[in-house]
Amino acid sequence: MTRSTLFPWRNIDPSALATLVCIPSAGGSASVFRPWTDELGLAIDVAAAEMPGWGTRYGELPAPSIAALVGELAEELEETPPGRFALFGHSLGGLVAYSLARALLDREGPSPLLLVVSGVAAPSSAVQTRRLSTLCDEDLIDQLRTLNGTAPEILDDAEMLRHYLPMVRKDFELVESFRHQAGPPFDFPILALGGSRDPQVPPSAVRGWRKETRAQCRVRIVDGDHFFIHQRRQEVLEAILWELNSELGLLG
């Protein structure tokens, strides 16, 4: 795996102070983060990860487990200087980002300066979410409409759904098969973002991220549903940028 394949959207700038590694949600592509490259400014290099089977990696077999995704990402980040990158993930991407941070710690690899988890319950949370991977096609389509993160032109196109539904089922299987392996709290801060009207992840489950770090854990509940990161993108990016600037010592 080459870096250009794993990170197809990346605004490499020699003057950047840190890299924000972004991991998409179930059914998502790295391309959703392309607008972030301009909106976060030149000081932050955005590296959007492409998961197998999606976007520029269309045709590849989907990942068999979150551990497989984490292994691929950890290998790419092992030589990154500590404190020069942050991790962001939404929904499934949040579980991957958290597991990646845990794997880097276990490998004695570099630590991120910040972990941003969005639209995902804390791993120790007892919240029960509905299994989506086993729904019939009609019910799965209804759930995707409710979550409001899939383009209507996909959900209304039978030919596109023939490819999309099996792939998104595989992504949901990754979420549903995730098992929390407790570990020591992180020493770096966490920004936990949630949607006030998220039908999958209630705000109480987002607040549980405070247990995962000895450092600051700031919780922001944003007005919106599960995909508030698109509906309230400017607010989300401002929150992320504030945290990054704080960790980089740029707020003084």
Q: pLDDT digits over 122-145, tens only? A: 988 866 667 888 899 999 999 999
Place 11 in a pLDDT band, splitting at 50, 70 and 90. low
Q: Is the pLDDT of residue 119 over 50?
A: yes
Q: What are phi and psi of 86, to 5 degrees?
A: -130, 160
DSSP letters for 123-178: TT--------TTS-HHHHHHHHHHHT-S-HHHHT-HHHHHHHHHHHHHHHHHHHH-
Q: How many residues does the chain have?
A: 252
| Residue 16 pLDDT | 85
Q: Using CA atoms, how far apart are residues 54 and 59, in angstroms rounded to an integer?
A: 8
| Higher pLDDT, residue 202 or 8 | 202
Domains of the chain: 3-125+182-247 (3.40.50.1820)
| Average pLDDT of the residues of the chain | 89
**In the block, residue with structure tokens 């394949």:** 5
Intra-chain end-to-end CA distance of the chain, in Å: 40
Q: pLDDT digits over 78-110, tens only? A: 878 777 899 999 999 999 999 999 999 998 889
**In the block, residue with structure tokens 């998104």:** 168
Q: Is the pLDDT of residue 234 over 80?
A: yes
What global pTM score does this model have?
Answer: 0.92
Q: What are phi and psi of 191, to 5 degrees?
A: -110, 120
Q: pLDDT digits over 32-61, tens only? A: 998 998 888 878 999 999 999 998 998 898
Q: What is the mean pLDDT of residues 154-180?
A: 91
Determine contact, residues 195/228, Cβ cutoff 8 Å.
Answer: yes
Is residue 102 helix, strand or coil? helix
Q: Using CA atoms, how far apart are residues 167 and 186, in angstroms rounded to an integer?
A: 33
- Report CA-CA distances (Å) from 209 to 98, 146, 173: 10, 25, 22
Percent of the chain with pLDDT over 90: 65
| Residues paired with 90 in a beta bridge | 118
- Report CA-CA distances (Å) from 245 to 37, 43, 70, 251: 16, 9, 26, 6
- Report CA-CA distances (Å) from 77 to 34, 87, 93: 20, 11, 16
Instruction: List all residues 6 or more positions away from 198 whose beta carbon is below 8 Å from its beta carbon.
Output: 119, 224, 225, 226, 228
Q: What are phi and psi of 175, to 5 degrees?
A: -65, -45
Question: Which one of 4, 31, 65, 91 is the catalytic residue?
Answer: 91
196 is an active site residue: no
Q: Using CA atoms, how far apart are residues 167 and 238, in angstroms rounded to an integer?
A: 32
